[in-house]
Every structure is written in C-alpha cells, then in structure tokens.
Amino acid sequence: MRIRPIFNLVMAAGLLISPSATFAEGLAGAYLSANHANVTNDYVAAADFYSKALAQDPTDAFMLQNALLSYVAIGELDKAIELAREITKLDFRSQLSDLIIIVSNVQDKDFKSELKLLEEAKDRLSPLLYDLLKGWALVGSGDMSAATKHFDSMIKPDALRVFGQYHKALAVAMAGDFELADKIMQGDSGNALHLNRSSLIAHAQILSQLEKFDEAAAILAGNSVGATDQQISDLYDKMKSKQSVPFDFIKSAQDGVSETFLTLASVLSGEEDERFSLIYARMAEFLGPKNIQSLLLLANTLRGQEQYDLATQVLAKVPTDHPMYLNAELSRADTLVDAGKPQAAIAVLQRLAASSPDVARVHMILGDVYSGEKQFRKANKAYTVAIELLKKENAAQWFLYYARGVSYERLDEWDKAEADFRKSLELSPNQPSTLNYLGYSLVEKGIKLEEAQELIERAVKGRPNDGFITDSLGWLLYRIGKFDEAVAPMEKAVELTPNDPIINDHLGDVYWKANRIREARFQWRRALSFGPEEKDAERIRRKLEVGLDEVLTSEKAAITNAN
C-alpha cells in the first residue's frame, strides 16, 4: 500500500496580500524553505514555512496537502482537521484528507457520516484499512451483527483474513463474549492470532476473564517481548498468581479505530519511507491517547527520521505510573544520545537509577552512556551495580562483563579487565567482540601471543567482514614480525573500514616494514586526513618526518630511560 505524497498546514485567513514583486519573493522563499524542511523530515519547520506560503496563496493544492501532512506528523490533529475540511471545500480530496475527516467523525461518534465517507473514499483506501475501519464503524453505529459479518467477509488475501479475525475478536470481547473471542484468537489449526505485542495483551486479558490463567501465562511466557516489557511482565505475574484483570484493551469503537491505525502503523514500520507508519501512529495516538504502544512506535519512527525533539516529546506523554514508563524513559535516554545530548541522557538515567535502583538494565545503559563519553570510572561503577543485581548468570550477560572489561582496560587495570573478558567468554565463548578485544589487548601488551592469535582468528571467523577485527589479525602478524603476511589482512581491514585513522595508520606501518616506503607514507597522510586524536596525529607526523624505524627506536629508548 502506498499513500501519494502529501504534506503540511492551516490557512491564515485574512492575511492575503495582493500580488507584487515582494509577494512573489516572499512566497518563493517560504515555499522553497518548506520543501527543504519536508525533504529532511523537519516537520515543525515545514509546518511553519507552508503556513507562511499558504497565507499568500491559500488555494495551492500542493501546499495544502503538504501542510496537512506536517500537522499530522507533529501531532496537531485538531489543526489538521480544520485544514482537511478546507481541502474538502476546495475539492482537493486525497487519501489523507479523507482519513483526517474520518478521524474527526470517530471522535465525534458520528459513525453514520464515517460509513458514508468510507464508501465515497473506498477507491482511495487500501482494502485492509477500508475493511477494518468499516467494521469498527458498524460497531460504533450499534450494529454488532453487521460488524462481525463484515469482519468475516475479509477473506482474501490471507493477511486480510488474519487481521479481520483479530479485530473481530477484539469487538466481541468488548461486547463481553469472551468464549467466542478466545476461540477466534486461538486461530485455525492452533495458529493463534498473536500478531504483535497488542494481541498478546488482548488475548491474556480475554483468558483472564475466562479464568484460564495458566494458558494466559504460557502465552506471555512464550514470547520474547516480555523479557524487557514491564507491562507484559506485570500481566504475566498476575496470571501466575491467578489474579483476574478486566478486559480494558478495547472499550469502545473509537478504541477499535485507534487499534486499526496502530495495526497499519505496525505493518508499515521499518519500510523505506516510514512517513506512512508515522501518519497512522499519530491517528492512533489522537483517538487513543492512552494507547502507550502507539506512543512508543511513534517515538521510534521519529527517532529513525532524526526528529529527536519530537520523539522525546512523545515519550514524555507516557504516565509515570504506567508499567511502560521505564521503557519510555530508557528510549528517551537513547534518543538524547542520538541527538548529541549525552549529559541530558545521563540525567534521565541517573533519575531512573535512583527511582528504580533494582533494575539492572538501567545501570547497564547508564554505563554505556558513560563509556561513550569516556567517563570510564563512572561506567565501571554502573556496570558493577548491574552485574551485582543479576543474581542468576546466563549467556546474555556476556556483554556486561565485556563492557566492564573495556572500562577496566581503559583505566589501565589490566588484571581486572582480563578477568572480565575471560568471564564474558565463559558465558558466551564465541562472541567476536570479546575474542577480538582480549586478543588485541594481549598483542598490544606483547604477552600470550599464541593465545592472542587463536582468539583473533576465531573472531575473524565469526565476523569476517568487520574491519576492526580484521585489523587486529593484521596487527598481530605485524607485532610478531610477519610483515609480508600482515599486508593482506591489513589491506582488507582498510577496504572494510576505509575512513578509520587507526586502521590506515596500521597499514602504513605494515607497508613500511614490508619495505613499501612510498605506500607507507601515503597511508600515514591518509590517516591524518581522517582526524585522529592529537597524540596519534603527532606520532604519525613524526613518522612522516623521520620514518617508522626512528620513531620506534626513540620510543624504546624513552622506555629504557624511564625504567
């Protein structure tokens, strides 16, 4: 399914200016700025610029449609509804303007008008969207019999039937027929309709009403999303303790329409152009502001489009008493890191660590952010807290020991670092990252070189297209004096990771020792062009001036004198 391009804003009535040279320049500037903002997904700026352009030319179909999308994208659905009605008056109908009017009708509980508009817009909507919206419109109009028959009429293709039956189950559960709802959710031939996170919660609530607690717990336990999903984890605990919960997943036809838009948003999430997912998620949020899943999907989509401020605004809407608040705050911290605001992310995580001190994941992510900021002592402490909180060891904890090992190594506490790397490999023996870091560190220290080679070769085998790991192999061969053998892996490392200054510097050293002097100097200059740290840059410049052999001799002499 594809929505034709449509984008942003509300008309500024009464601000019309008669054509003039100044007007033309002003319109062109706003129009071009709006288009640039639109292309870069800067919806807030696009809305502002399209607004200015529409103030001068309020009947331009292209700008009207683009303005409409921008308002939807930034979540100002009330303004979008106003604009959609203006578009309808001017007969500039589109799929998006139709959907906005439908959303307005649902909000007003005017399902008769919604049904009429659905028939008028049928050719502009995908079959899945049309059928699900019509089914819930029939529910909203009070004709449950017609609604269930309509959901049953969704037969081909198979995906249409699956989603039709899922929404039928939600509708009959809302009406109180939990036996039928469960039967539908069980699916054909045992293929349960567990399409997404929402369906797991809905089915568990349905089973709870039937006092099938063990079955509900088994469904929740059998899906990996529960591992880091506090809402599902809480629901699982209630099912294990045989505690009944109300079916409040869908309480009205409006909730059903919200879930319809969320269904479409989830299906389209991850597509090349995620604007379509963004549009549907915004509509789901507008009609179901308590639908936390729509907020999380929205934030993830906006983050993927590098609209970090909008993403954090969405995440801030998750109530502090909701089970998914912790997940939302962790996502907000990740978003702030992506936005280049690590200190703000650290502040979020510190507050979480204080309010949820027993959640290991919070301390682990805090450690990651500290590590990214090269605050290795603080990172080490955070990782240590996370490790202490995880009483039962499992393979998934390899990363915690690996990450703490890195922090120890950067703090020059090698014995502790080596112990953590080896613990990480004990938990998960074939992790390329750990194999490489331990092996490379041994090479740098000039110790246990046979083991280092075995570790690095295992890492290369596990991740053959990783430039950094391939660099480790080449560097090992260089350090043990096999200069000619080191050339091939080091050249491959540069090919895999061409812009890394350290890898290019290493290739220069290998070329020098292989008596390929001109190529060595070329690689050192190339390494400098990629902006290495100043101490590394100074060493490279020295090599260009006097050669590698002289630099190594001077460094050896300095070490001897220091001792």
- Over residues 164-176, the pLDDT tens digits come to 999 999 999 999 9
pLDDT category at 63 given cuts 50, 70, 90 is confident
pLDDT in tens, 386-405: 999 998 888 989 999 999 99
Q: Quick one: pLDDT at residue 43? A: 84
**Rounded Cα gap, residues 462 and 107, in angstroms:** 54
**Rounded Cα gap, residues 250 and 258, in angstroms:** 9
Tokens 């001017």, residue? 90
pLDDT in tens, 7-44: 222 222 222 223 333 334 455 666 677 667 667 777 88
Mean pLDDT of 402-422: 97
Per-residue pLDDT for 446 more than 80? yes
- CA nearest 439: which of 428, 59, 425, 426? 425
Contact by Cβ (8 Å): 269, 277: yes
In our burial notation (b when 16+ CB lie closer than 10 A, e otherwise), range 273-283 reads ebbbbbbbbbb
Contact by Cβ (8 Å): 147, 140: no
SS3 state at 379: helix
Amino acid at 160: L
SS3 state at 103: helix
**Rounded Cα gap, residues 5 and 359, in angstroms:** 44
Pull the structure tokens for residue 251. Answer: 């309480």
SS3 state at 519: helix
SS3 state at 8: strand
Burial status of residue 236 (CB atoms within 10 A of its CB: 0-12, 13-18, 19 or more): buried
Mean pLDDT of all residues belonging to the chain: 88
- Region of poorest pLDDT, from 86-95, 207-216, 296-305: 86-95
Helices (H), 175-212: 178-186, 197-209
- Region of poorest pLDDT, from 54-63, 235-244, 453-462, 499-508: 54-63
Instruction: Compute, in degrees rounded to 10, the torsion defined by CA atoms 100, 106, 109, 115.
Output: 90
**Rounded Cα gap, residues 239 and 456, in angstroms:** 47
- Region of poorest pLDDT, from 83-92, 414-423, 473-482: 83-92
Contact by Cβ (8 Å): 299, 335: yes
Strand partners, 68: 8
Per-residue pLDDT for 2 more than 90? no
**Rounded Cα gap, residues 99 and 81, in angstroms:** 10
Angle separating helix axes 127-140 and 111-120, nearest 10 degrees: 160
Collect all residues with Cβ–Cβ distance below 8 Å to 38 and sequence separation of at least 6: 7, 8, 46, 66, 70
Longest dimension (CA), the chain: 92
Q: Quick one: pLDDT at residue 299? A: 94
Q: Quick one: pLDDT at residue 289? A: 87
**Domains, the chain, with CATH or none:** 1-92 (1.25.40.10)
**Rounded Cα gap, residues 1 and 157, in angstroms:** 14
Q: Rg (Cα) of the chain, in Å, rounded? A: 30
Contact by Cβ (8 Å): 533, 502: no
- CA nearest 253: which of 94, 367, 138, 396? 138
Strand partners, 67: 8
pLDDT in tens, 261-305: 998 998 888 776 678 889 999 999 999 988 899 999 999 999 998
pLDDT category at 254 given cuts 50, 70, 90 is very high
**Rounded Cα gap, residues 49 and 55, in angstroms:** 10
Per-residue pLDDT for 92 more than 90? no
Mean pLDDT of 45-73: 80
Angle at 52 between CA 47 and CA 56, to 5 degrees: 135
pTM of the shown model: 0.80
Q: Quick one: pLDDT at residue 159? A: 82
Note the residue count of the chain.
563
Give the HSE-up count for residue 106: Cα atoms under 13 Å, Cβ half-sphere: 29
- Percent of the residues in the chain that have a pLDDT greater than 70, as a whole number: 92
Q: Quick one: pLDDT at residue 556? A: 87
Pull the structure tokens for residue 126. Answer: 């995908």
Angle at 342 between CA 337 and CA 348, to 5 degrees: 90
pLDDT in tens, 470-484: 999 999 999 999 999
Amino acid at 258: S
Angle separating helix axes 483-496 and 467-479, nearest 10 degrees: 160
Number of H helices, E strands in the chain: 31, 0
pLDDT in tens, 326-371: 999 999 999 999 999 999 999 999 999 999 999 999 999 999 999 9
- Report the Cα–Cα distance between both ends of the chain, in Å, rounded: 72
Pull the structure tokens for residue 287. Answer: 């009609």
Q: Quick one: pLDDT at residue 30? A: 66
Cα-based distances in Å from 465 to 89, 93, 290, 437, 453: 58, 50, 44, 16, 18
- Region of poorest pLDDT, from 37-51, 130-144, 417-431: 37-51
Q: Quick one: pLDDT at residue 12? A: 26
Helices (H), 74-157: 77-89, 95-107, 111-120, 127-140, 144-153
Pull the structure tokens for residue 544. Answer: 């260009």
Q: Quick one: pLDDT at residue 33? A: 72
**Rounded Cα gap, residues 462 and 435, in angstroms:** 10
Q: Quick one: pLDDT at residue 291? A: 85
**Rounded Cα gap, residues 476 and 351, in angstroms:** 44
Q: ω before 157 within 30° of 0 (cis)?
A: yes
